[in-house]
Amino acid sequence: MDKPSYVTEKGLADLKEKLTHLTEVKRPEVIEQMQNVKADGEWMDNTEFQLFEDELALIDGRIRELQLMLDNAQLIEPGNEANIVEIGETVVVRTEEGEIERYTIVGVAEADPSAGFISNESPLAQALLNHKIGEDVVVKAPAGELRFRIVAIT
C-alpha cells in the first residue's frame, strides 16, 4: 500500500472536484478537439494534433495522480491530543528573532506554504509534530539551523 495522503474534509472535497473537472470537462474537451483535427484530415503530421495528444497525456497523468491520492486519502481529525502538535492543527511559533508565525500542518495535497499551509512531510512540520506548547524545536535548513518556540496550538 502507498503511504497515506492526509487531507482535511475541505481538501478531500477539493481533490474530488478537481478529479471530476478533469474527467468530465477537460478530458472530453481535448478529445473533441483531437477529433475535430482528425476530421480535417492530415492529422498524422499535424502539430496541433500532437499538442492535443500531449495535453491529453498530461491530463491523464494528473487524473491518475488524483485517483491515487483519493485512494490513499486519510482524513485529518485534529485535536485528538490536547496541547500536542498534530496534522491538521494550526501552530503559532516564535522565531529566534521574536517574530510570531502561524502554520497549519496539512497533507502534501493541500500544502501552500505562501498561505501558511505546510506539508506534514516538510522539515518544519516534522520538527513541530508531537511537541507541546512551550517546547523549542530545531529545523535543519540549507542555511543552517532555525529555532522556534511553540506558543499556541489551535
Q: Which domains can be identified in the chain, with CATH numbers? A: 5-75 (1.10.287.180), 90-153 (3.10.50.30)
Chain-centre distance for alpha carbon 107? 6
Q: Mean pLDDT for the chain?
A: 91
CA dist list (Å): 126 to 22, 120, 137, 139: 33, 6, 10, 8
Report the alpha-carbon distance of residue 119 to residue 89 in Å, rounded.
Answer: 12
Kindly report the pTM of this predicted structure. Answer: 0.75
Question: Residue 32's closest CA among 49, 54, 18, 47?
Answer: 49
Contact between residue 106 and residue 9 where contact means Cβ atoms under 8 Å apart: no
pLDDT-derived band at 56, boundaries 50, 70, 90: very high
The pLDDT, as a whole number, for residue 45 is 72
